[in-house]
């Protein structure tokens, strides 16, 4: 069995941004030599996530609108009341909304691998979803299989 871990860095530009990382995952898979197994994509941040969906600009805009409607930025989040919260870091952002969005989105996705290819649907892509950008970020790709 082969296990490959690769950390990929990126820099986001906007507060909310959906970045297609499918090519990165395919590259790591190809380099691994794994033909059958799984590709795990994990986001080690509490204000970003990983999702699968269709890379279509109008749909991505719809997703952004829905996220802001469900979890608005201008609501009072207890996480943002620094005067009563413990362990607040210097320069910390008011980003309670981003944490709640990330909780709903999730931190990882697993895609089966067959014959050396990701078993994505014809219109599926893998996305890094930024919820509190712009920032320097990273994500981890783990390929497991034979």
- 62-87 pLDDT per residue, tens: 999 999 999 999 999 999 998 888 88
Mean pLDDT of all residues in 5-11: 98
At residue 40, does pLDDT exceed 90?
yes
133 pLDDT band, cuts 50/70/90, is: very high
Question: Percentage of residues in the chain with pLDDT exceeding 70?
Answer: 100
pLDDT of residue 93: 87
Q: In angstroms, rounded to a whole number, what is the distance separating the alpha carbons of residues 77 and 99?
A: 10
pLDDT reading at 45 higher than 90: yes
Position 105 in a domain: yes
pLDDT at 53 (0 to 100): 98
Backbone angles phi, psi at 20, to 5 degrees: -75, 115
User: What's the CATH code of the domain at 10?
Assistant: 2.60.120.460
d(CA 92, CA 90): 6
Number of domains in the chain: 1
DSSP string of 37-70, one letter each residue: EEEEEE---TTEEEEEEE--HHHHHHHHHHHHHH
Q: How many CB atoms lie within 10 A of CB 42?
A: 16
Question: What sign for the dihedral angle of Cα 25, 28, 29, 30?
Answer: positive
pTM for the whole structure: 0.95
Residue 54 pLDDT > 90: yes
pLDDT at 1 over 90: yes
Can you give the residue range of the structural domain that contains 44? 2-77+94-145
- Residue 97, helix vs strand vs coil: helix
pLDDT of residue 88: 83
Residue 88, in any domain of the structure:
no
């Amino acid at each position: 069995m082969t296990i490959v871990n690769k950390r990929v860095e990126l820099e986001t530009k906007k507060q909310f941004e959906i970045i297609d990382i499918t090519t990165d995952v395919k590259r790591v898979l190809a380099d691994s030599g794994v033909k059958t197994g799984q590709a795990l994509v994990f986001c080690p941040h509490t204000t970003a996530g990983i999702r699968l969906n269709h890379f279509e600009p109008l749909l991505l805009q719809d997703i952004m609108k829905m996220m802001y409607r469900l979890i608005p930025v201008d609501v009072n989040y207890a996480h943002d009341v620094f005067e009563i919260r413990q362990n607040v870091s210097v320069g910390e952002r008011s980003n309670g909304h981003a944490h709640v969005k990330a909780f709903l989105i999730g931190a990882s996705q697993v895609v089966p691998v067959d014959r050396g290819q990701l078993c994505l649907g014809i219109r599926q892509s893998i996305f890094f979803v930024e919820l509190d950008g712009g920032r320097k970020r990273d994500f981890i790709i783990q390929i497991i299989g034979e």
